[in-house]
Amino acid sequence: MTVRVVIADDHPVFRRGLRAALSDAAEVEVTAEVTDGVAAAAAASEGTVDVILMDLHMPGLSGIDATREIRRTAPGVAVLVLTMFDNDESLFTAMRAGARGYLVKGADRDEIVRAIVAVAAGEAVFGAGIAERALAYFAAAPAGGRAARPFPELTDREMEVLRLVADGLTTAGIARRLRLSEKTVRNHTSNVVAKLRVEDRAQAIVRARRAGLGRPDEPA
């Protein structure tokens, strides 16, 4: 059976090139191209697509948010991320959002076709170099069935800051503890708030304490 594919990417030259590359692959059929996450989520909900090839950074609704929406409204549609970003933050955020595969732009046509067919069949697929990091992430979960570290979208430094914020330290106290400037701590805190998609520092503390960080008996 042919796998029906929608390409979601805001770069027209890349879309056209990818469509042309896939045009002679008997296993797949590109049924549409869209330029943002809203259109990608809408295409998934129509029931005429099996796989969305999803760029992460697009105007309006991002590829990550579109993936979350697709997982909620059209769980039978597989999202295969195809992006230029080869970093742990993007990888783990996409995984948590519900992506079934992650490839970096530059993957050859055969690798993309194999990945499309695999995710359509319910498998998880990661490109060369990425698979090892994904496996290491899951292997990092402690014994006894506990989950891996919370908030993998945060960098190590941002996690340090979040832990100290959840412990009740002020910006000045965190700066002294980590030997950073207060401005740097504020920047890290702002990044944490943005990545956790909360409104402010207090909500970040609530999220952190629910995940087992900090002192749950103290007010946020």
Q: What is the CATH number of the domain that holds 192?
A: 1.10.10.10
Q: Which amino acid is at 58?
A: M
Q: Write out the DSSP string of 161-180.
A: HHHHHHTT--HHHHHHHHT-
User: Does 42 reside within a domain?
Assistant: yes
Say if residues 104 and 127 touch (Cβ distance below 8 Å): yes
Judged against a pLDDT cut of 60, whether residue 148 lies above it is answered with: no
User: Does 215 reside within a domain?
Assistant: no
Say if residues 201 and 193 touch (Cβ distance below 8 Å): yes
pLDDT of residue 28: 96
Look up the domain containing 178 and give its range. 156-210
* Judgement on whether residues 7 and 97 belong to the same structural domain of the protein: yes
* Judgement on whether residues 123 and 35 belong to the same structural domain of the protein: yes
pLDDT tens digits, one per residue of 8-55: 999 999 999 999 999 999 999 999 999 999 999 999 999 899 999 999
166's tokens:
């959840």
User: Is pTM, for the whole model, over 0.75?
Assistant: no
